[in-house]
Amino acid sequence: MHAMGEPPEPSTSGFRKVIHIDMDAFYASVEQRDDPSLRGRPVAVGGAAARGVVAAASYEARTFGVRSAMPSTRAARLCPELVFVPPRFDVYRAVSRQIHAVFRDYTPLVEPLSLDEAYLDVTADLRGIGSATRIAEIIRQRIRAETGLTASAGVSYNKFLAKLASDQNKPDGLCVIRPGEGADFVAGLPVARFHGIGPRGAERMEALGIRTGADLRGVELAVLRKHFGAQADYLFRAARGIDLRSVEPDRPRKSVGGERTFDRDLSSGTALREALDKITEIVWARIVKAGVHGRTVTLKLKTSDFQAITRARSFARPVADQDEFARAGRELLDALLPLPQPIRLMGLTLSGLDGASEGGDVRSDGDAEPAAQGQGVLPF
Residues 287 and 69: their CA atoms lie apart, in Å, by: 10
Contact 2, 107 (CB under 8 A): no
Q: In what order do the strands lie in the sheet with 18-23?
A: 110-114, 117-121, 18-23, 151-156, 174-176
70-to-50, 54, 77 alpha-carbon distances in Å: 12, 5, 11
> Measured between alpha carbons, how far is 38 from 25 in angstroms, rounded to an integer?
14
What is the identity of the amino acid at 345? L
- Is 250 annotated as a binding-site member? no
Cα–Cα distance for residue pair 126/366, rounded to 1 Å: 14
265 labelled ligand-binding: no
Which residues are known to be catalytic? 117
Binding residues for Mg(2+): 22, 116
Binding residues: 22, 116
